[in-house]
Amino acid sequence: MRYLMTTGQNSRRPDEALFAEMGAFIEEMTAAGILIATGGLEPGGVKMTSHGDEITVTDGPFVEAKEEILGFALVEVSSHEEALEVSRRFRRIVGDGDSILHRVMGP
């Protein structure tokens, strides 16, 4: 099963210790075959809306800065419980904040 986890602002300030912990976590998840992709997202984004043949492009931001999605991880796990545990480990590293976990449907 694949899951997409998105995260916004976190309480822990980036420093050498955070980068070291996150690097070790990413290496472990990659070596275990769990982590498929991870990355940061630029603020704002672009919204595309289609209606019939017309497509409208609108530059962001669309939400308050505190609600912005700043990063993601795509993982492949054997169960929902395993996805939750990977997400819990991530949250323990980055501190207080929110993450949203979605199951990716399809092959």
Angle at 36 between CA 100 and CA 93, to 5 degrees: 50
Residues 36, 27 contacting (CB under 8 angstroms): no
Enumerate residues 6+ apart whose C-beta is below 8 A from 82.
none
24-60: pLDDT as tens digits? 999 999 999 999 999 988 888 888 999 999 999 999 8
What's the predicted TM-score (pTM) here? 0.83
> Which letter does DSSP use for residue 14 in this model?
P
Q: Read off the amino acid at residue 20.
A: A
3-state secondary structure 45-100: CEEEEEECCEEEEEECCCCCHHHCCCEEEEEECCCHHHHHHHHHHHHHHHCCEEEE
Report the share of the chain in percent with pLDDT over 70: 98
Task: Tell me what pLDDT residue 65 has.
Answer: 67
Task: Tell me what pLDDT residue 32 has.
Answer: 97
For the cut 90, the answer to whether the pLDDT of residue 15 exceeds it is yes
